[in-house]
Amino acid sequence: MAKFTEKFEDGLMVVAEKVDDNKYLGAIKNAFTTFMPFIIVGSFASLFNTLICSTSTGLAAFIPSLAKISPAFTAINFATLSIMALPICFLIGLEMARRNKVPEQICAITALAAYICVVPQSVSIVVEGLESAVSGAGLPSAAIGAQGLFIAMIISIVVSEIFSALMKVEKIKIKMPPSVPSAISQSFNTLIPILISLVIVGVAGQLFFLATGSYMNDWIYTVLQAPLEAIFQSPLGAIALFMVAQVFWFLGIHGNMIITPIRNPLIASAIAANIATAAAGGIPDQPITYGSLVSFIVVGGAGLVLSLVIAILIFSKRDDERAVAKLGLVPAIFGISEPVVFGLPLVLNVTYVIPFILSAGVATGSLLFATSIGFVPCNVVDVPFGFPIVVSAFIGHGWQGVVLQLIIIALGVLLYTPFVLLSNKQFKKEQEKANA
Amino acid sequence: MKIVLTCCIGMSTSMLAELMSQASNAYGFNDDITCIDSEKLEVIDLDADVLLLGPQIKHMHRRLYRRYHTKMPVAMIDAQDYGCMNGENVLLFAHDLFKKHQCNR
C-alpha cells in the first residue's frame, strides 16, 4: 500500500512538473493570466450598464439622460471581451517568443497576422428587403470573439514555432555590411521568417477552405472548442476536473494552478458567451465562470477549507487543530487556504482526504444544480480572486448567490464534521497508547 | 539582504512576508522581504539574495532552480512553518541558506 501511494504521488508530481514545464501550456497559461484583468473590466462594463444606464434597474430611471452614455460601456465590453481572440493570440505569440528567445514583438505580431490570414476577412449581413446577403470588408465576430479562442491559440503556437525555427536558420538572413547599425540589420533579418511564416499559414488556411468548404476557425470551433465547452459546463466534466485539482492539493501542489491551461480558455469564453446572451436579451446559460469559481467552487479556499475551519472550531477538542483553525479563519474568509492546508496539515492527511477531495464535487454540483433550476443566475459580472465571502457572491450573482454560497459552506461543514470527530477519536486513542 | 518569496499569485506568501519582516526588524537584520507571482519569475530576471518557494508550487522548484541557482539559493519553505506562518523560522532558514551559498561560492 505504501509503495502504491508513493508511486501515485511521484506520478502526479511528474504530471505537475510536465504541465508546468511544457512550453505551450505555459504560454497559454501566462497569456490568460495577463489578459484576466481585461476580462474582469469588460464584465464590469456590463455591470455599469445595468447600474447606471438602464432605465429600469439603474440610475437612468431617475436621470434619463444617463441612458445615452450606455454605448460607451457597450464599447468597453466589446473592446475587451468580444475581441478577446486577438489579444490572446498576440500574448501567446509574445510568451512563445520569450521562451524561444526570438524578437518578442515581431513574433507576436506575426502570430496575430497569421491568425487574421486564416479567418474570413469579410462579413455578410442579411438586409431586409434584399434577397441575398450583403457582404463587406470586416472580421466576423465569431473569429475575433471567444469562439475564436482555440483556433487563435493553435495558430499562435504553430506560427511562433515556425517563425522561431526560421529565425535560427543562418542562410536566410540578409547579410548587411558591418557598417550598418545592428538594429537595422536585425529588422531585415526578420523579413524572410515573417514572410515564410505568413505564406505557410495563409496558404494552409486557403487549402483547408478549398478542401472542406469551411474556414479553419469555424471548423476548430465545431470539432474542438464547442465539445470541450460542453464537457466543461456539464456536471460530470466540471466535477471531475475540480476534484482532480483537489487530488493535487492533497499532495500539497496548487491544484487549480495545474488545471489553468485548460480551465482559463473555457471560463473566458463562458463569461463572454453569458454577456453576449444577456446583451441579445436572452438568459445567460454558462454556469462555470471565473466569478462562480471564486464564489462557489473554491469558496473559503480550495477544498472548502473555511467549512473545515468552522467544523473544527465547533466540534474539535484537539488544541493543535483549533490553533491552526484560528490562524486560518481570516485568510479562509478571503479564499486563502494555505495556512490550513499546510498547517493542519491537509497534505497527505489520510483522515481528511475523503472530504478534502469530495468538497470540490459538492461545491460544483451545488452550483450546477442551483443554476439549472434557475435559482441562481449565470453571471455576467466576473469577480476577481481575493474578495471575502458574501461580497464575492453578491457582486457576481446577487443575493441568490449569497444564499448559495452560504449553503455550500454549510454543506461543507456537514461533510467535514464526521471526519473532525474521527480525527479527535484517533488523537484520543494515540494519547491513551502513549500514556499506557 | 533581499529575500523574495513566491507562490501562485503571491497572496498567501504576502502574509508570511509581513511576519518575516517583523521578525527581521526584531533581530535587527532589517531585510527587504517581498513577494512575487511565480509566473513572473519566468519572464523577469530576478535580482535577490534568496528565493523561497511556497510549498504549493513545489512542482516549479526544479525549473526555478535551473534558472536561478547560480545567482542565489532557491529553496522550498518548510510546509509546517508555512502553514503555521512561522515568520521567524523561515527568516532564519533564509539567512542560513544565504550563508551556505556564500561559502560555496
> DSSP states of B25-94 as a string?
HHHT---EEEEEETTHHHHS----SEEEE-GGGGGGHHHHHHHHTTTS-EEEPPHHHHHTT-HHHHHHHH
Asked if B79's CB is within 8 angstroms of A20's CB, the reply is: no
In a domain, A130, yes or no: yes
| pLDDT-above-70 percentage for chain A | 100
CB A423 within 8 A of CB A356: no
Q: Is A299 in the same domain as A206? A: no
CA A29 to chain B, closest CA, distance in angstroms equals: 9
Instruction: Tell which CATH architecture fits domain B2-104.
Output: 3-Layer(aba) Sandwich (3.40)
Q: Is the pLDDT of residue A90 over 90?
A: yes
Asked if B9's CB is within 8 angstroms of A339's CB, the reply is: no
Q: Which chain B residue shows the shortest CA-CA distance from A301?
A: B12
> What residues does B4 pair with on adjacent strands?
B34, B51
Q: Is A200 in the same domain as A96? A: yes
In a domain, A169, yes or no: yes
Query: Residue B3 — pLDDT band, cuts 50, 70, 90?
Result: very high
Q: Is A297 in the same domain as A227? A: no
The pLDDT of residue A17 is: 85
In a domain, A2, yes or no: no
Q: Which domain-ending residue is among A200, A215, A233?
A: A233
The pLDDT of residue A257 is: 85
**Predicted complex ipTM:** 0.80
Considering its fold, how many domains does chain A have in total?
Answer: 2
Please compute the mean of the pLDDT values over residues A346-352 and round it to a whole number: 90
Q: With left for phi above 0 and alpha for psi between -120 and 50, is residue B30 left, alpha or beta?
A: left
Q: Is A415 in the same domain as A276? A: yes
CB A266 within 8 A of CB A229: yes
Q: What count of CB pairs under 8 Å joins A to B?
A: 82
The pLDDT of residue A107 is: 95
Cell digits of residue A255: 491544484
The pLDDT of residue B105 is: 67
- CA A330/CA A139 separation, integer angstroms: 48
Q: Is the pLDDT of residue B10 over 90?
A: no
Q: Encode pLDDT of A60-71 as tens digits.
A: 888 888 888 889
Q: Is B84 assigned a catalytic role?
A: no
The pLDDT of residue A392 is: 92
Which residue out of B16, B59, B67 would a mutagenesis test of the A interface target, given it has the greatest number of A Cβ atoms within 10 Å? B59
B85 touches chain A (CB under 8 A): yes
Q: Which chain A residue shows the shortest CA-CA distance from B77?
A: A342
Q: Which domain-ending residue is among A233, A258, A292?
A: A233
CA B76 to chain A, closest CA, distance in angstroms equals: 12
How distant, in Å, are the alpha carbons of A94, A110, A198, A403 from that of A157? 10, 11, 13, 43
Chain A residues touching B63 at Cβ < 8 A: 17, 20-21
Asked if A254's CB is within 8 angstroms of B7's CB, the reply is: yes
Q: Is the pLDDT of residue A1 over 90?
A: no
Task: Note the helical H segments in A22-69.
Answer: 23-48
The pLDDT of residue A2 is: 65
In a domain, A148, yes or no: yes
CA A210 to chain B, closest CA, distance in angstroms equals: 41
Asked if B83's CB is within 8 angstroms of A345's CB, the reply is: yes
pTM: 0.85
Q: Is A170 in the same domain as A285? A: no
Q: Encode pLDDT of A287-296 as tens digits.
A: 999 999 999 9
CA B90 to chain A, closest CA, distance in angstroms equals: 14
Bigger pLDDT: A54 vs A237: A237
Q: Is A398 in the same domain as A270? A: yes
Bigger pLDDT: B53 vs A183: B53
- What are the φ/ψ torsions at residue B36 (nearest 5 degrees)? -145, 150
Please compute the mean of the pLDDT values over residues A328-342 and round it to a whole number: 91
Tally the residues of chain A: 436
Cell digits of residue A153: 491559440
The mean pLDDT value of chain A amounts to 90
- CA B57/CA A185 separation, integer angstroms: 42
Residues belonging to chain A with any Cβ–Cβ distance to chain B shorter than 8 Å: 13, 16-17, 19-21, 26, 29-30, 33, 98, 249, 252-254, 257-258, 324, 327, 331, 336, 338-345, 347, 385-386
In a domain, A199, yes or no: yes
In a domain, A8, yes or no: no
Q: Is A333 in the same domain as A209? A: no
Q: Which domain-ending residue is among A233, A252, A276?
A: A233
How does strand A134-137 pair with strand A122-125? antiparallel
Q: Is A279 in the same domain as A380? A: yes
In a domain, A410, yes or no: yes
Query: Residue A48 — pLDDT band, cuts 50, 70, 90?
Result: confident
Chain A residues touching B62 at Cβ < 8 A: 17, 21
The range of the structural domain enclosing residue A382 comes to 236-435
Q: Is the pLDDT of residue A178 over 80?
A: no
The pLDDT of residue B12 is: 79
Q: Is A216 in the same domain as A344? A: no
The pLDDT of residue A79 is: 94
In a domain, A170, yes or no: yes
Q: Is A371 in the same domain as A348? A: yes
Q: Is A244 in the same domain as A226? A: no
Query: Residue A112 — pLDDT band, cuts 50, 70, 90?
Result: very high
Q: Is A141 in the same domain as A280? A: no
Q: Encode pLDDT of A401-426 as tens digits.
A: 999 999 999 999 999 999 999 999 99
- What single-letter amino acid sits at A204? A
Q: Encode pLDDT of B63-104 as tens digits.
A: 889 889 888 999 999 988 998 889 999 999 999 999 888 887
Q: Encode pLDDT of A92-110 as tens digits.
A: 999 999 889 899 999 999 9
Q: Which of A53-57, A189-193, A244-248 has the lowest mean pLDDT?
A: A53-57
| pLDDT-above-90 percentage for chain A | 58
